[in-house]
Homo-oligomer: A and B are copies of this chain.
Amino acid sequence: MSHPKTISVDDAVVSCCAPLSDGAMSEIEAGDMAQIFGALSDPARLRMLSLIASQDEVCSCALEGPLGKSQPTISHHTRILLEAGLIIGEKRGRWMWWRVVPDRLKVVARILSV
């Protein structure tokens, strides 16, 4: 039910993007940004993201080996990155192909500018 078949980034909307020094962050924005940073706060997910970012697309099946985690754990982590809007997935055949969402990374980087 959660995690619908049609995969999109709309789930994780971010109020958005003002640099940290632009005055006190609202509670809404803080919550949204915290979700994104939370997705980035696990070593396995960071390595996963770097593996995906290093190539155009990466299949889920190509992540188990390098990360040394079980298949359900890989699925769990891809879902968290998806819900944070950091990756997007497309199912082709039996394989799930993942790619990063550069714009979302830019949003995060912008927050940290100054």
Which residues on A are within 8 Å of B, measured CB to CB?
19-25, 27, 30-31, 33-34, 37-38, 40-44, 46-47, 49-51, 53-54, 66, 100, 102, 105-106, 108-109, 112-114
Contact check, B50 vs A21: say whether CB atoms are below 8 A apart.
yes
Beyond A19-B53, A109-B112, 15 additional contacts (C-beta under 8 Å) are A20-B100, A23-B54, A24-B47, A24-B50, A24-B54, A25-B47, A25-B50, A30-B44, A30-B46, A30-B50, A33-B43, A34-B42, A37-B46, A40-B40, A112-B112
* Copies of chain A in the complex: 2
Which DSSP category, helix, strand, loop or mixed, fits chain A's interface?
helix
- C-alpha spacing A33/B46, complex, angstroms: 8
